[in-house]
Structure 1
Amino acid sequence: MNSFYESRQWLAYLFVAAAVLIAVGSLVFSHHLVRELAKEERNKIEIWASATQLIASGDENADMSLVLQILQSNSTIPVILYDSTTGRLSANNITLPQNGREDFLQKKIEQFSHRHPPIELPELNQFVYYDDSYTLKKLRIYPYVQLFVIAVFIAFAFFALNRSQKAEQNKLWVGLSKETAHQLGTPISSLVAWTEYLKLKKVDPSLITEIEKDLDRLQSIAERFSKIGSVSDLKKVALQEPIQKTVGYLRNRLSDKVEIVFEFPSHPAFVLLNESLFGWVIENLTKNAADAMSGQGMITFSITEKEKNYLLDITDTGKGIPKSKFKRVFQPGFTTKERGWGLGLSLSKRIVEMYHHGKIFVKRSEADKGTTFRIVMKKSAN
């Protein structure tokens, strides 16, 4: 299962890489087109400047009709002709204001000179300043618009993929949970009947007591599975209660070398909980902590208060989790164990965030020193 989700992640990464390559290729090609068009416009303006100089020189051998045709052909490139001798300014393809035309053109000259070096007409002591055509300006902007469109497309694609994956996971979780609860119902009922039969046979009461404890445990597990996918029934409960109850059950099933420490406030930390489901979260985190310590170390349950929330920190003294895997540990199928489905932390995240509207995350972790998982739960209104 882990390899399945990792393969889907790699497909997503390949999709992003392909989109980036397309975007980069488009940028390179667009910039190439812009440079080529800029060169072409520069050549046109140089020809236009030569025609201007030719018509001013009054050369009788020049084909004036061709010169005029060249001058009239420029209908897209903004041009300003500056005569340094007289200070006269004339413009082409520029919309001029009714007042302050000289100042307006002087500002335009400054703008144009920053974009393109002017073309000098030495015989006439004149300079031609020009700007990019409207088409070239649009072409310069086009790659960035294209990048934006690609980025939006990638974002929507990932959003759709994420929603699809979550919907698929939801169906899998709910279907698996309901079926498991249904399948557990029959053997549990049978075991209850066998327990009553053993009582009638006056079997050792201590044995029956232990069997009933395990039956209660099985019924609790079946109840948990049956509630997955249903509307969560939340009740006002002191956060300390499900922790102590779950750890109390697990204590006898953990190694004697595992020390459990509670650091709870003196007052009840009331929150809205489904005890059965939240107990499942505590059980998963406790078992993971014990496994991380190889059955030897300390697990600390600490409750602190902050504004409108209670913070539950579960700290072990195990081998730790690399920072790069802080988020991955909650993915279905992710596991570092040789055995197991890698569903415990994923299920815990769903229970805390979807059913209790809280948060769960790895607060900190250090190699060979331990890990702290934090659960944030909203305080219950009085």
Structure 2
Amino acid sequence: MANIYDIRRYGTFAFMAVAILLAACFLAVSNSIVGDLASQERQRMELWAEATKSIIGTSAEDVGNEAQSQQYINFLLHIIEDNRSIPVILADDKGDIILHRNFDLPEPLDSLNPLYISERNAEFLSKKLKSLASQKQNIIPIEIGDGITQHLYYQDSRLLQRLNYFPYVQMLIMVVFVSVVYFAVMSTKKAEQNKVWVGLSKETAHQLGTPISSLMAWMELLEQMDVGAEVVEEMNKDVVRLSTIASRFGKIGSKPKMETTDADVVVQSAVSYMKTRISQRIKLVYVLPPAVELPLKAQLSDSLFQWVLENLIKNAVDAMDADGAITVVAGRDERAGRIFIEVTDTGKGLPKKRFKTIFKPGYTTKKRGWGLGLALAKRIVEQYHGGRIFVKWSEPDRGTTFRIELPSL
């Protein structure tokens, strides 16, 4: 059971690696398509530039006669007029704009004088020209002759601009979709786990009920048989404890009765109970909070919260090789408005990567453990008491500190 979370973690890494690889392939294909389209637009602009150059330099003698010359010029004009998608500016060496097409100008063109450029449009086109001039790859020089050179500046068409963003938008949609599916599956899985928890707990309580009732009857019989009073008293304590444990299991899945309680008293009771049930070679100490912090009032289910503390102490005992020290500290964090309980041991410690895994159902480092104790503790603290439980500190071969925080009253 201890390796299931390692396998799941490696599986998650593998899934992420595959997802990243697929995303990289998708982006590569999209960029290739965008590159091909950009190359085609470049060719169109080179043709546009060649048409412009030909119009300026064409005469009737070059073509053969005036009629053929006019047809040729009309053909070149058709090439120029056919560009309805690529924004373009034609300028001379001085940077004066000769022609512009396909820009969303701040003011509409004058239909009676389309060559007229208003001040606002001129300012807009001037800024656009400077921007395009800084992009060296989108400039085509046109050699007119006699040392005259014009420059064709163009930017990507709207279609190409949208295609540049398309793969990222599609990836975002994919991420959102996968996230929604993931959380839906996890929510369903968690609901199923809760049903299993509740069913297992209530069945355990039911199965313990009959033998506990029988043990109680035997205790009464032992008292009548004049068995040593101290022996009977200690045995009776454990029978009562069994009854309490069965009651705790029965409360899992049902909202427990919460009462305003002094957490200090509950902690002392749990520590006192565990002291007589662990090895004498292990020193269990409860450090009393300062008098100014008392009482540590909180809404608690006494029996369930004691269960949490006993679990933490038992885990601390199991983490040590027969001897060591366990220190329990309680107090109040005034700034956070919470009370806290810390359980520190001098045991084997944990690596940081296990700080959250140890609270997963089924995770255990014990040969015979079920990996349910800390999972139950987390459920009781967080779902029933509105607090949180976490590993505050741990180092291999030095020890571990668990911390519980609860809303203070």
| TM-score interval for Structure 1 and Structure 2 normalised by the shorter chain | over 0.9
Letter in 2 for 1:107: K
Counterparts of 2:365 and 2:210, CA distance in 1: 34
SS at match of 1:122: strand
- Give 1:37's aligned residue: 37
1:291 aligns with 2:315: no
TM-score with structure 2 length normalisation? Answer: 0.88
- Give 2:263's aligned residue: 239
Alignment gaps of 5+ in structure 2: 64-68, 108-117
Shift in CA distance, 150/86, structure 1 to aligned 2, threshold 3 Å = closer
Counterparts of 1:362 and 1:54, CA distance in 2: 79
- Give 1:379's aligned residue: 408
The structural deviation recorded for 1:217 is: 0.9
Alignment gaps of 5+ in structure 1: none
| Candidates 68, 86, 102, aligned match of 1:93 | 102
Counterparts of 1:233 and 1:113, CA distance in 2: 75
Counterparts of 1:85 and 1:337, CA distance in 2: 83
Alignment of 1:298-377 (within 5 A): 298-307=325-334, 308-377=337-406
Cα-to-partner distance string for 1:195-229 (whole Å, 9 max, x where unaligned): 22233333333332222111101101001000000
Shift in CA distance, 66/301, structure 1 to aligned 2, threshold 3 Å = same
Counterparts of 1:269 and 1:357, CA distance in 2: 16
- Give 1:147's aligned residue: 171
Letter in 2 for 1:235: E
Please tell me the root mean square deviation across aligned C-alpha atoms, in Å.
1.9
- Give 1:111's aligned residue: 131
- 159-168 vs 359-368, greater mean Cα deviation: 159-168
- 41-50 vs 115-124, greater mean Cα deviation: 115-124
TM-score with structure 1 length normalisation? Answer: 0.94
Cα-to-partner distance string for 1:135-194 (whole Å, 9 max, x where unaligned): 000000112212211221232233223212221221111010000001111111111122
Letter in 2 for 1:48: W
SS at match of 2:367: coil
Counterparts of 2:125 and 2:303, CA distance in 1: 79
**Identical positions, percent:** 44
Counterparts of 1:198 and 1:320, CA distance in 2: 44
- Give 1:201's aligned residue: 225
Counterparts of 1:246 and 1:304, CA distance in 2: 16
Shift in CA distance, 221/97, structure 1 to aligned 2, threshold 3 Å = closer
Q: What is the number of equivalent residue pairs in this alignment? A: 380
Counterparts of 1:285 and 1:209, CA distance in 2: 26
1:22 aligns with 2:46: no
Counterparts of 2:91 and 2:274, CA distance in 1: 91
The structural deviation recorded for 1:85 is: 6.2
Counterparts of 2:187 and 2:7, CA distance in 1: 17
Counterparts of 1:264 and 1:105, CA distance in 2: 78
The structural deviation recorded for 1:73 is: 2.1
Cα-to-partner distance string for 1:220-271 (whole Å, 9 max, x where unaligned): 1001000000012111111122222222222122111111121222222111
- Give 1:57's aligned residue: 57
- Give 2:47's aligned residue: 47
1:224 aligns with 2:248: yes
- 340-349 vs 156-165, greater mean Cα deviation: 156-165
Contact 1:334 1:342 in 2 (8 A): yes
Contact 2:53 2:143 in 1 (8 A): no
The structural deviation recorded for 1:9 is: 4.7
- In our comparison, the structure showing a higher alpha carbon Rg is 2
| Candidates 241, 254, 260, aligned match of 2:278 | 254
The structural deviation recorded for 1:95 is: 3.0
Cα-to-partner distance string for 1:46-79 (whole Å, 9 max, x where unaligned): 0110011111112442733432332122111001
Shift in CA distance, 58/179, structure 1 to aligned 2, threshold 3 Å = same
- Give 2:110's aligned residue: none
Letter in 2 for 1:375: I
SS at match of 2:339: strand
Shift in CA distance, 161/88, structure 1 to aligned 2, threshold 3 Å = closer
